Amino acid sequence: MADEPVVEEGLGSTRISRRRLMKTGAIVGGTVWVAPVIDSFISRAAAASEAHYCCCCTDPTTKGASPYQCEQDGIPTSAAACIAYCQSIVIPGTTSNAGYTQYQWCGPAPTGWNTSGGVCSGASGNCSTGTVPSPTP
């Protein structure tokens, strides 16, 4: 089959043939449709393999501090990072360190954690608890 002309000339104007326009539209349309579909598969795979972590800090020594402070889903990713997080918490509206003395860190787990009451629960993963050392100045 011979190549078809890309453009047709006639009456002083240059036009794209109807056949060429249909082919180009199908290619562009297919490309536009395929990109989001591939992205949706990649996003689901990434979400399914995401690890969930939980860190709860309890027993503050500073007056005015919340009885517990928790973070989950992605941070902190280790018990050492949880301890550092507990040491760094400042009471909102002040410059006072909350002085949390206990921590619980859990992870990784394939599903999210629940942190009601200052306890990591609702998922399966390794957990560790312990005393938070006083932050060094």
The pLDDT tens digits for 76-103 are 899 999 999 999 999 888 888 899 999 9
Q: Where are the domains of the chain?
A: 7-49, 52-131
Pick 75 or 1 by higher pLDDT.
75
- The two structure tokens encoding residue 12: 């002083």
- The rounded mean pLDDT for the chain is 79
Residue 4 has pLDDT above 90, yes or no: no
Q: What is the pLDDT of residue 109?
A: 87
Per-residue pLDDT band for 29 (boundaries 50, 70, 90) equals low
What six digits make up the tokens of 56? 């709860």
Provide mean pLDDT across the span 23-29: 72
Mean pLDDT, residues 113-126 taken together? 87
